[in-house]
Amino acid sequence: MAPKSSVQKEWLSQLDTLYKAELPQDNSSLTVAAKYHFKNPGKSFRAQLAMSSGIALQMNHLDNLNWAAACELLHNASLIHDDISDASTHRRGQKSINHFFGSDMALCLGDWMVAKAFELAARNTQFGGQLTALLAQAMQETCNGQISDLSQRQCADLEEWQRIAKGKTAPLLVAPIKGAAMAASLIDSQNNNRWITQLDQLVGLCGLAYQGYNDIDDIIPSSHRSSDLDGRKPNLVVSLFAKQGLGREDFHRWYASDNADRLSHWQQRIASSVVISQANELVDQWLMQAEALILTLPPALQSVTSDLVNSVKKTTLVKSQCRIA
């Protein structure tokens, strides 16, 4: 998002207050784990999307706050569950919940966040049922994307990579905007299918760009070990490399094995190849396509989606500068 205004900072402060008020009040180990997690809440990107959309659409303040918290909690739940499946040891500069408290506690905390997200969405007296259903759909789509990521053992081609990347990132990015539009009666069953499709396309393209740059960062610099190559996970750069160049058959044989001995060799080969520039070009194309869709949306949502595109651009620029440095 754009640099935080005083209004956004105040909203994020209220969001933090809401989290604390909604935590289990029995001083249980679950409460301790939740407080530990929220010591560093991250950028609250999805909450900011929901807030900005709600403000633009003149959504009731409390309903907007509850919706923003619901979207952010659901995203946080997905991160905690993702860390379990990846056996990740750190998240946001501190030990992950599963590493610090154990996988059982992480599973319970993630489940609690899902339940609390649904409860907060349901508090909207007029649209609670629809907002809860929207979150449920977003979580189902995210789970489908995540399981595709985990179960993909062969090297994914570009089309398959795009399907998985969109499934993992887009549903919980588009839900905050859609929910605010729904609560503002901007969505109905007859007239708005076209712009909703365009919104889905725009957010999907942003998701591809964001994931694409993450994938480039996973491969270069080659001085660090690629977790995607090591875990045989879908990666844009790897998909591009796998379909071209000398040694392709050797690479596919190695990739299909569980042998990690030549990981450094293949990572260096990939990092020094032309596919890095090709991946960067694809990311730039996706962002240009997303930008072109902004003016097809209702005027109230154009500034919000413009902020989304610019935020992804800024993230990719920072990552690129870090690689150059």
Which residue, of 138, 162, 187, is where some domain finishes? 187
Is residue 163, in this structure, part of any structural domain at all? yes
In 10 A of CB 184, how many CB atoms? 21
Which range is most confident: 67-76, 184-193, 259-268?
A: 67-76
Same domain, 153 and 209: no
Q: Name the least confident of 59-63, 151-155, 215-219.
A: 151-155
Strands 94-95 and 90-91, how do they pair? antiparallel
Same domain, 51 and 82: yes
CA distance 90 to 37: 11
Same domain, 182 and 206: no
Same domain, 69 and 134: yes
CATH number reported for the structural domain that contains residue 104 in this entry: 1.10.600.10
> What is the model's pLDDT at position 239?
94
Same domain, 169 and 236: no
* Domain membership of residue 264 as a residue range: 190-325
> Given phi > 0 = left and psi -120 to 50 = alpha, else beta, which region is 39?
alpha
In this predicted model, what pLDDT tens digit does every residue of 111-149 receive, in sequence order? 999 999 999 999 999 999 999 999 999 999 999 888 877
Is residue 5, in this structure, part of any structural domain at all? no
- Do residues 50 and 68 touch, judged by C-beta distance below 8 A? yes
Token digits of residue 112: 């609690």
CA neighbours closer than 13 Å in the CB half-sphere of residue 207: 23
- Tokens 């977003």 locate to 138
> What is the model's pLDDT at position 221?
77
In this predicted model, what pLDDT tens digit does every residue of 6-60 receive, in sequence order? 777 888 899 999 988 998 877 789 999 999 999 888 889 999 999 999 999 999 9
Same domain, 18 and 118: yes
Which residue, of 154, 187, 220, is where some domain finishes? 187
User: For the chain, how many structural domains are there in total?
Assistant: 2
Helix (H, G, I), strand (E, B) or coil at 95: strand
Same domain, 154 and 39: yes
Nearest by Cα to 50 from 36, 61, 35, 38: 61
> What is the model's pLDDT at position 50?
95
**Cis bond before residue 3 (omega within 30° of 0):** no
In this predicted model, what pLDDT tens digit does every residue of 182-241 receive, in sequence order? 998 887 655 556 789 999 999 999 999 999 999 999 999 767 889 899 888 899 999 999
Same domain, 38 and 168: yes
In this predicted model, what pLDDT tens digit does every residue of 294-304 receive, in sequence order? 999 999 999 99
Same domain, 250 and 119: no
Same domain, 261 and 144: no
Is residue 296, in this structure, part of any structural domain at all? yes
- Tokens 């180990």 locate to 29
Is residue 8, in this structure, part of any structural domain at all? no
Which residue, of 187, 211, 235, is where some domain finishes? 187
Same domain, 252 and 313: yes
> What is the model's pLDDT at position 192?
57
Is residue 224, in this structure, part of any structural domain at all? yes
In 10 A of CB 210, how many CB atoms? 22
Is residue 3, in this structure, part of any structural domain at all? no
Is residue 108, in this structure, part of any structural domain at all? yes
Same domain, 200 and 173: no
Is residue 20, in this structure, part of any structural domain at all? yes
CA dihedral 151, 157, 158, 162 (to 10 degrees): -20
